[in-house]
Amino acid sequence: MKIAILTLPLHTNYGGILQAYALQTILERMGHEVEHLQPEVTYPPLHPAWQMPLVWGKRLIRKYLGGDGKLPIFEHPHRWVRKNTDKFIAENIRCRYLKPEDWGETLADEYDAFVVGSDQVWRPYMSGRIERYLTAFLEKCDIQRIAFSASFGVDYDEYSDEERAMARSLMPMFNAVSVREESGIKLCREIFGIDAVCTLDPTMLLTSEDYDKLSDKAPLSSGKLMTYILDESQRTDEIIDNVAKERGLTPFRVNSKVEQGDNEPKLSNRQQPPVENWLRGFRDAEYVITDSFHACVFSIIYNKPFLCIGNGFRGMARFNSLLGQFGLMDRLVSIDSNHIPSSDIDWTKVNAVLEDKRRESLGFLRQALGN
């Protein structure tokens, strides 16, 4: 069967990239031919053409006289930031890039089924083009549609009246629906009038051994306390310092510098490290501190003790569902809390739950696809 996957645009987000890789891998192991349908990547100019010689000149000065040795001179900044993650995507994920006019019903002639997911594809705020992830472009087509571990991101209805009406019209056209969070089952039933089941994020369908094959050639991490913070602040720095002192571990980060308040890092510090390095971080770490859903996921996959700083802006329902399923709610702390989880994690129990849920999730996919 030839399958098209619809997920959020693959840019620099490690979790988004790896869930796409994992779903592709699982479907290929089931014997299917898979492509990710992605919007065409463009890099619009940031300055008028006549200003570019001046921009390049300033960069040359900063690079050679200002001590900013890694600064790209002629490369588009966005392309520079994405260089490592784009390389991983090109080498490991089969993508077909479509222009806006290419998203039409003629695509139904090229595929046997469309799988929507995972990630926050059903959260309008995150998806940007919610109609695409509801397969509005296939509305008049008789084609198999499956939602796999689709996420609303939150446990309440964020849809506008227009978006809600569209979703109520299009969601019943899906042949099978699974959502990533338990709260998504209730949203599907009460808001959109469809039945759904809860399945794992695709990354959890693969094992640490699968990911080790990707990170084998990555350099050893520079410490034993991995930190992966999406929304950095003085308070998250304090939490990291406290854990490092308490556990006697050296912190290391595997993500680019981001803004803290009004302090914008140098462009040369904003290039996202390779995906393989991020995976290697979990492999080498003795402890993980994060505010990221997928960093929690990989801490579980790698059986690493972790502290999760609740990130309400990005959607707490995701953390509550994930950690609740595995009996790990004690790992979740608020940004203002001084509590550091000290109890040992019963990984035998966690791994047993993971195996059960992995079996259920794979069973859903096989049944939905007729395997």
- Within the chain, what is the greatest distance between any pair of CA atoms? 63
Q: Do domains 2-42+81-205+358-369 and 208-355 have the same CATH topology?
A: yes
End-to-end CA distance of the chain: 10
Contact 279, 206 (CB under 8 A): no
pTM of the model: 0.93
- CATH code for residues 208-355: 3.40.50
Looking at domain 2-42+81-205+358-369, its CATH class is: alpha beta
Q: What are phi and psi of 189, to 5 degrees?
A: -75, -50
In the prediction, which pLDDT does 259 show?
Answer: 47
19-48 pLDDT, tens per residue? Answer: 999 999 999 999 999 999 999 988 777 777
Domain-by-domain residue ranges, the chain? 2-42+81-205+358-369, 49-79, 208-355
pLDDT tens for the 371 residues of the chain, in order: 999 999 999 999 999 999 999 999 999 999 999 999 999 988 777 777 777 777 777 777 776 766 666 667 777 888 888 999 999 999 999 999 999 999 999 999 999 999 999 999 999 988 889 999 999 999 999 999 999 999 999 999 999 999 999 999 999 999 999 999 999 999 999 999 999 999 999 999 999 999 999 999 999 999 999 999 999 999 999 999 999 999 999 999 998 865 444 444 566 678 899 999 999 999 999 999 999 999 999 999 999 999 999 877 777 899 999 999 999 999 999 888 888 888 899 999 999 999 999 999 999 999 999 87
